[in-house]
Structure 1
Amino acid sequence: MSSGLNLRTALLLLVPPLLWAGNAVVGRLVNTLVPPITLNFLRWALAFLILLPLAGWVLRRGSPLWPHWKRFLLLGLLGVGAYNALQYLALQTSTPLNVTLVASSTPVFMLGIGWLCFGQRVTGRQIAGAVLSIAGVLIVLSRGQWAMLAQVELVVGDLYVLLATLAWAFYSWLLSQPKEPSEIRQDWAAFLMAQIIFGLGWSGMFAAGEWALKADAQITWGWPLAAALLYVAIGPAILAYRCWGLGVQRAGPAIAGFFANLTPLFAALLSAAFLGELPHVYHGVAFALIVGGIVVSSRR
């Protein structure tokens, strides 16, 4: 059950978009080194090895995981097997501007799925918060020049992002509906491991299909790819999922969804840092709008 938004919960929900922004930057950097769906599989395989000493007990025959395997099979599909694989795949055929623009619909998906599938009442404040938050994202994407948005042309990659956003919204709502044993729910490493176990099966099948369909698929091993895999496994995978799961439990999926809109803002700032460019005024305006959307939507 959610208990609303406070400073500690807000800080928890700030960590995932920051790490996910870095994930997008790294995903673009290794674009030519590894196929996108394979990158997702390798990422979670490494995360599995990292978590094994902490949560290997859930693999045992008498573990409380197995009576609830159907739930974790679904969570593994949505959060591990599909979400990032679709995003990495989208970057192959769509521009970063389009990918981030389509992904900015996360709060709308959160509210819509909560209303349609989980009986969640949508308030006027949440709608107002969604408008403010999306406005902030659009300012970042247009770099303060609205005419740039008119140049956007949707391609197949944008469909992948929509599917990824839909998967993430369902995943987040499922997190807010605890049905697994307390031994797993209260152990963050075990809870994530339980998802990864089944998620590796899904992502492995998807990666196998990628290699079967893509004749020129190859992996360029080296320190750049190794460093990238280490980051995406520890940061966006383990740390971000841990913070997101806690934040969703405490604030609820609808409020948490607004924090996801900070990802493109953080991505813009990280890109500016790597390019040596200073932040612009519109970054501050966008940040104020996104935070304003969070505050408005979370007020009781």
Structure 2
Amino acid sequence: MGLFSALVAGSFSLGVRAANLIDPAAITVARFIIAAGVLAGIAALVPGRGRSRALLEAPWRYLLLGGAFAGYFVLMFEGLKTAPAVSASAVFTLTPIMAAGFGWLLLRQRMTGHLAAALALGGAGALWVIFRGDLAALTRMEIGRGEGIYLVGCALHALYTPLVRRLNRGEGPLISSLGTLVAGGILTAVWGWGALTATAWGALPAIVWITVFYVAVFASACSTMLVQYAALRLPSAKVMAYTYLTPLWVIGLEAALGRGMPGIAVLPGMLAILGALALLLGGDEPARSSSPVR
């Protein structure tokens, strides 16, 4: 999940530069097709039995997983049209709190006091960064349109994590990820067919193609497998809690790309996020679930 946070960070820095150059549905379909192709190629090369049967067993599961995953990515790019990369990555760190709620609803996973303290501290830090240290804006809940749109997407991502565990029937991360990406691509293509056919693919700037391939290979294929692997071994809240690292990666990337460092006003929020991560790494509680995974 530490590697996941680094890979996801790149999608914010690239996505904010490409979001206004291509429709969110179109880029999501493209990334799903490429990512599914990558995983299908890996599945063909790695020995394994019963994979086709695993994909065809209760395929409605992949429609649920793919729908949640696709909705997250569409809303992410829609939100990045107006939300700064650092601010959007701070919104992303609210997913652990939402994942904890969905984990309790779907799996009856219970948080320890240690994990609850980490989530509370990280959530407070994320809110500080989102509102850029403006307490007056925080009390009025003046959140930007882009951040608001992306927050809905993050709720879908938080739901996706316990769904992986709830719906798993013994298939490994590779096959489950492949089914999720194929289903997500189909659903997004049906919903955004107009945007898909209206896009002048041959005239897109280079930054769009760089973003498409990065998010397809690293922020879709690789990150999906990493989340699937972790979701079967860690509580839902703890899986997503590693997203606290993402804003730090984004700040470093944005500085490297010439955007400079964020203002000093957001420093307390970043320190709170770091504190939450330290609390998280300080304890290693096993998952508690009334729904065992076969």
Judge same fold: TM > 0.5, yes or no: yes
Question: In 2, are the aligned partners of 1:114 and 1:120 still within 8 Å (CA)?
Answer: yes
Judge which range, 203-212 or 165-174, deviates more: 203-212
Match of 1:294 in 2: 280
Question: In 1, are the aligned partners of 2:118 and 2:277 still within 8 Å (CA)?
Answer: no
What is the distance in 2 between the residues matched to 1:251 and 1:142?
31
What is the distance in 2 between the residues matched to 1:125 and 1:119?
18
Determine whether 1:90 maps to 2:89.
no
Give the counterpart letter for 1:18 in structure 2.
A
Deviation at 1:239, TM superposition (A): 1.3
RMSD over aligned Cα, in angstroms?
3.2
Question: In 2, are the aligned partners of 1:130 and 1:297 still within 8 Å (CA)?
Answer: no
What is the distance in 2 between the residues matched to 1:74 and 1:138?
29
Aligned-partner SS, 1:251: coil
Deviations along 1:70-123, whole A, 9 cap, x unmatched?
1111111112x2111111111224454653444332122111122233322233
Among residues 216, 222, 230, which one is paired with 2:213 in the alignment?
A: 230
Determine whether 1:174 maps to 2:160.
no
Question: In 1, are the aligned partners of 2:244 and 2:273 still within 8 Å (CA)?
Answer: no
Match of 1:75 in 2: 65
Deviations along 1:110-143, whole A, 9 cap, x unmatched?
1112223332223332321112222443555567
Match of 1:246 in 2: 229
> What TM-score do you get using the length of structure 1 for normalisation?
0.78
Match of 1:5 in 2: none
Judge which range, 13-22 or 49-58, deviates more: 49-58
Match of 2:98 in 1: 109
Q: Percent identity?
A: 22
Alignment of 1:145-160 (within 5 A): 145=133, 147=135, 150=138, 153-160=142-149
Question: In 2, are the aligned partners of 1:262 and 1:290 still within 8 Å (CA)?
Answer: no
What is the distance in 2 between the residues matched to 1:100 and 1:16?
13
Question: In 2, are the aligned partners of 1:135 and 1:289 still within 8 Å (CA)?
Answer: no
What is the distance in 2 between the residues matched to 1:142 and 1:272?
20
What is the distance in 2 between the residues matched to 1:153 and 1:140?
13
Question: In 2, are the aligned partners of 1:115 and 1:121 still within 8 Å (CA)?
Answer: yes
What is the distance in 2 between the residues matched to 1:244 and 1:269?
23
What is the distance in 1 between the residues matched to 2:247 and 2:254?
10
Among residues 181, 186, 210, which one is paired with 1:201 in the alignment?
A: 186
Give the counterpart letter for 1:22 in structure 2.
G
> What TM-score do you get using the length of structure 2 for normalisation?
0.80
Question: In 2, are the aligned partners of 1:107 and 1:130 still within 8 Å (CA)?
Answer: yes
Match of 2:43 in 1: 55
Deviations along 1:220-257, whole A, 9 cap, x unmatched?
32433322222111110111111122122222212112
Structure 1: runs of 5 or more not aligned: 1-12
What is the distance in 2 between the residues matched to 1:179 and 1:161?
27
Among residues 131, 139, 144, which one is paired with 2:120 in the alignment?
A: 131
Question: In 2, are the aligned partners of 1:106 and 1:169 still within 8 Å (CA)?
Answer: yes
Q: In the comparison of the two structures, how many residue pairs are matched?
A: 278
